[in-house]
Amino acid sequence: MYSKKISIVIMFAVVLSACGGTTVVSKPQRTAEVVPVAEPRSKYGNPASYVVLGKRYYVLQSAAGYKDKGIASWYGPNFHGKRASSGETYNMNAMTAAHKTLPLPTYVRVSNLENGRSIIVKVNDRGPFHDNRIIDLSKAAATQLDVVRTGTALVQVEVVSSSAPSNTVDLSNVSKSKATIDLVSQQSQNFIYIQLGAFSAKQNAEQLLGRLLLSNVGGAAITESENNGNLIYRVRIGPLSSVAITDQVAAKLDTLGFSEYQIVIE
């Protein structure tokens, strides 16, 4: 009787645990941080230029001063264990990334503009060969920036020197109320545009805008800005509400023959 009672209690506990409505979400395991070190250019992956899918890319002679914003993606299991462009073996659990034009290797700080997280990764591969992406993160790097869940994220990519600090910025260490305020502030400043041209002559910008309107491309406009005392007229579509919408508009532009454009985040 005693043993039977014990069995019933255990079974009841199992049923309760199975039916419980509380889900425990585990935080991503912290991967060893990358420390930038001075390295020579790799023997492989650094031609003056190369062609992929009919498009030519020019490798930068120097990474010094590089800083840009764009859309990040990530790549993992399908490439794990395969040869990277630098000649190294791609390890999706290492803090690495792929870039189309930075010299290999290069160390960059990638900051997720949507949640404030920031990490340093080693660029040792080429890609992503999707026109609207700026960098392809390893699974480990994407996990730290919370990109695996969403698939893409708006990021800033900035080259760091071998003497730069390698600390990782993580809003999880900030109080909940403070983090909420920071997130709202950051998200309100992230606007996605597709820029089709920048001209010193307003007439040229107006001609391009006219072609877009004749092709039934909505949301296009001319913006003015000053650069070293000179007015620049930019033809842009946006702001666009998401990466998915941006990809849809870009695909339409490609179909209509407007293939020269870039993604701008402000």
- How does pLDDT run along the chain (266 residues), one tens digit per residue? 444 434 433 343 433 344 444 434 344 555 667 889 989 999 999 999 999 999 999 999 999 999 999 999 999 999 999 999 999 999 999 999 999 999 999 999 999 999 999 999 999 999 999 879 999 999 999 999 999 999 999 999 999 987 544 444 444 443 333 333 233 344 447 899 999 999 999 999 999 999 999 999 989 999 999 988 899 999 999 999 999 999 999 999 999 999 899 999 99
Q: CB–CB of 198/232 below 8 Å?
A: yes
Say what the pLDDT of residue 2 is: 43
Domain identity same for 63 and 174: yes
Say what the pLDDT of residue 162 is: 72
- Whether residue 44 is contained in a domain is answered as no
- The pTM for the full model equals 0.77
Domain identity same for 144 and 102: yes
Domain identity same for 88 and 168: yes
- Whether residue 66 is contained in a domain is answered as yes
Give CA–CA dist 82/80, Å, rounded.
Answer: 6
Q: Which of 163, 187, 211 corresponds to the end of one domain?
A: 187
Domain identity same for 172 and 55: yes
- Whether residue 114 is contained in a domain is answered as yes
Give me the sign of the Cα torsion angle 77, 115, 171, 105: positive
Q: CATH no. for residue 227?
A: 3.30.70.1070
Local structure of 148: helix, strand or coil:
coil
Q: CB–CB of 155/113 below 8 Å?
A: yes
Domain that holds residue 120: 49-187
Say what the pLDDT of residue 33 is: 74
Give CA–CA dist 133/130, Å, rounded.
Answer: 6
Overall number of domains in the chain: 2
Domain identity same for 144 and 242: no
- Whether residue 69 is contained in a domain is answered as yes
Domain identity same for 104 and 209: no
Q: Which of 187, 218, 239 corresponds to the end of one domain?
A: 187
- Whether residue 199 is contained in a domain is answered as yes
**How many CA within 13 A on the CB side of residue 246?**
26
Domain identity same for 170 and 92: yes
Q: CB–CB of 121/134 below 8 Å?
A: no
Antiparallel, parallel or unpaired: β 106-112 and 118-125:
antiparallel
- Whether residue 21 is contained in a domain is answered as no
Q: CATH no. for residue 132?
A: 2.40.40.10
